[in-house]
């Protein structure tokens, strides 16, 4: 019985204590400021003490101030306290960003002003440079005028030179056409020459054009020209008459029949006979040279009648300078 | 035997009726109307932020504002009107921060460009002046 009475007293005391503690706790929660707003407050204070930003966004700044103040009020409801704290924090951040924006915008004016100043300075400098350039150009212009006058004199000289040159050119053109005609003529003549030489069966050698007159010109052992062969010689005369500048060498050749001394003598006499005929037909004697070669330069073997006939001959060598030009 | 009769008199009935009225009022107070104005204000602030391209310059803040507004609408659906109003107000504050941040970033970028342009101009001028000399 005694223990149960004591236990009941203990229980009653305990209940009283718990209730009291609960009441004290309840009081303490309502009286304690939320810990959050101090952070928002310190951010706001920092913002307000920044000389760059403090006066930039007054409306947002006022909003932030109000939100922080209401978050600082003691709240019974923890959820409401957290909410007000959140709002205060964002309002302060917003105020800072807007102040930064205003600051940048104010700076921008200064930057634009600066840019305009720089541009103005650049233009001023350019203008100064242009003025000095103009002065230099003017001076240069004066000297250029002097040289231009000189140039004009030169030009008139040059013009008369040019006219002279023009006349010279005309003259040259005329000369050229004359030369061209002469060339055409020369070409024609050369062609003609070749045609005639062809009929004479001339051969081009190192010594010149060689026209070989066979032994039909002379009777055996004689040095008189047969009259029947004159037509062949006449072609040669005509050719030499057309080209009076060419020298003529006449060589007599024989076969090996008879003594060499005799053959030498005979060959010279035959060459002289041809030369005499050419002279009689109008060829200037000074162009003609006659030689007796005898049997020394055969063109075929002397062991056959045919060979000996080929060796008995007179060669007329026409100087080749005009032909060589072609 | 008068006692039972007096026990059921009208004066005896006042207590239960009063209790019922208080309970009815209490029930009404626990479901206040939806915070339509706050929700609209939040939506408006988000729209403004989106228009200034906050999605690019302040994506975190804009995202937070959107999710707060979604939470607020959810709270309205669950009849937690006080929480809905708080969330809506937080959403609006977040969206306004996003807009402010966007304008700050843009303004700073413009200034940086201007500064750069000015120094380039000065350099050019110095160079061209150097060439002329």
CATH of residue A293's domain is 3.30.1330.60
Q: State the pLDDT at residue A222.
A: 79
One domain, residues A88 and A213: no
- Inter-residue contact B88 to A81 (CB < 8 Å): no
User: Among partner residues B96, B100, B122, which is closest to A118 by beta-carbon distance?
Assistant: B122
How many domains does chain A divide into? 2
Rama region for A282: left / alpha / beta (φ>0; ψ in -120 to 50; rest): left
Task: Return the closest-CA partner of residue A40 out of B3, B42, B93, B50.
Answer: B93
Residue A155 resides in a domain: no
Answer whether A94 sits within 8 Å of B114, measured CB to CB.
no
Most confident of A25-39, A97-111, B25-39: A97-111
**Alpha carbon of residue A13 to chain centroid:** 116
Q: What is the pTM of this model?
A: 0.46
DSSP B35-48: -HHHHHHHHHHHHH
pLDDT at res. A193: 66
Q: Which domain holds residue B33?
A: 3-132
Number of domains in chain B: 1
Same domain, residue pair A321 and A195:
yes
Reported confidence tier of residue A323, pLDDT bands at 50, 70, 90: very low
Q: Is A193 within a domain?
A: yes
Residues of B in contact with A70 (CB under 8 A): none
* Among B102, B108, B98, CA closest to A106: B108
Mutate to test the interface with B, among A47, A101, A109, A127 (most CBs of B within 10 A): A101
Helix, strand, or coil (residue A48): helix
- Note whether A320 and A194 are same-domain residues: yes
- Residue B71 to chain A, least CA–CA distance (Å): 14
Q: What angle do CA A202, A205, A211 make, to 5 degrees?
A: 25
Residue A157 lies in a domain: no
List chain A residues with CB under 8 Å of B104.
97-98, 100-101, 104
Nearest Cα residue to A312 out of A326, A325, A299: A299
pLDDT at position A198 over 50: yes
* Domain CATH for B91: 1.20.1270.390
Range among A31-40, A136-145, A146-155, B110-119 rated most confident: B110-119
Contact A93 B97 (CB under 8 A): yes
Q: In the listed set A64, A90, A110, which residue is the last one of a domain according to the structure?
A: A110
Residue A186 has pLDDT above 60, yes or no: yes
| ipTM associated with this complex | 0.73
| Whether residue A198 sits in one domain with residue A99 | no
Q: Are residues A206 and A96 in the same domain?
A: no
Q: How far is CA A233 from CA A190, A203, A217, in A?
A: 20, 16, 9
Supply the pLDDT for residue A320. 66
Q: Give the pairing of strands A203-204 and A209-214.
A: antiparallel
Of A110, A145, A160, the position where a domain reaches its end is A110
| Greater model confidence, B116 or B131 | B116
Q: Is residue A74 part of a domain?
A: yes
pLDDT tens readout for residues A201-239 = 777 777 777 888 776 677 777 788 777 666 777 778 887
Q: Which of B45, B107, B109, B127 to mutate to test the interface with A (most CBs of A within 10 A)?
A: B107
pLDDT in tens, B17-76: 666 555 555 554 556 788 999 999 999 999 999 999 999 999 999 999 999 999 999 999
User: How many CA within 13 A on the CB side of residue A49?
Assistant: 6
Closest approach of chain B CAs to the CA of A2, in angstroms? 43
* Same domain, residue pair A313 and A193: yes
Residue A194 and residue A316 in one domain:
yes
pLDDT, residue A177, reads 82
Range of the domain at A224: 189-325
């Amino acid at each position: 019985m005694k223990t149960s009475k004591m236990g009941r007293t203990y229980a009653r005391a305990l209940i009283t204590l718990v209730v009291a503690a609960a009441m004290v706790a309840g009081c303490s929660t309502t009286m304690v400021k939320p810990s959050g707003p101090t952070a928002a407050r310190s951010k706001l204070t920092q913002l307000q003490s920044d000389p760059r930003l403090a006066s930039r966004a007054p409306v947002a700044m006022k909003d932030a101030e109000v939100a922080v103040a209401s978050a600082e009020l003691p709240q019974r409801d923890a959820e409401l306290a957290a909410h007000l704290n959140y709002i205060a924090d964002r309002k302060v951040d917003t105020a800072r960003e807007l102040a930064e924006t205003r600051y940048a915008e104010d700076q921008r004016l200064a930057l634009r002003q600066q840019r305009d100043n720089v541009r103005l300075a650049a233009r001023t400098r350019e203008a100064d440079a242009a003025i000095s350039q103009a002065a230099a150009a003017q001076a240069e212009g004066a000297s250029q005028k002097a040289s231009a006058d000189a140039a004009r004199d030169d030009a008139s000289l040059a013009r008369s030179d040019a006219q002279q040159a023009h006349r010279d050119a005309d003259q040259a053109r005329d000369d050229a056409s004359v030369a061209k005609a002469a060339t055409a003529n020369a070409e024609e003549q050369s062609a003609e020459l070749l045609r005639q030489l062809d009929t004479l069966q001339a051969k081009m050698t190192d010594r010149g054009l060689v026209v070989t007159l066979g032994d039909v010109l002379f009777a055996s052992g004689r040095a008189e020209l047969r009259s029947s062969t004159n037509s062949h010689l006449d072609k040669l005369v005509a050719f030499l008459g057309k080209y009076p500048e060419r020298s003529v060498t006449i060589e007599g050749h024989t076969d090996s029949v008879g003594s060499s001394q005799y053959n030498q003598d005979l060959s010279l006499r035959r060459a002289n006979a041809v030369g005499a005929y050419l002279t009689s037909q109008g060829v200037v004697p000074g162009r003609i040279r006659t030689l007796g070669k005898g049997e020394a330069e055969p063109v075929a073997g002397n062991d056959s009648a045919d060979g000996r006939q080929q060796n008995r001959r007179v060669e007329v060598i026409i100087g080749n300078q005009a032909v060589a030009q072609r | 035997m008068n006692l039972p009769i007096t026990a059921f008199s009208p004066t005896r009935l006042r207590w239960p009726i009063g209790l019922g009225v208080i309970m009815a009022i209490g029930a009404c107070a626990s479901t206040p109307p939806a915070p339509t104005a706050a929700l609209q204000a939040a939506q408006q602030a988000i729209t403004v932020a989106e228009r200034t391209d906050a999605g690019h310059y302040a994506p975190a803040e804009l995202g937070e504002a959107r999710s707060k507004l979604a939470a607020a609408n959810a709270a309205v659906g669950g009849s937690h009107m006080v929480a809905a109003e708080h969330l809506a107000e937080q959403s609006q504050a977040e969206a306004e921060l996003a807009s402010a941040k966007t304008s700050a970033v843009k303004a700073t970028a413009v200034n940086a460009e201007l500064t750069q342009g000015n120094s380039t101009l000065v350099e050019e001028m110095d160079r061209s002046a150097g060439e002329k000399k």
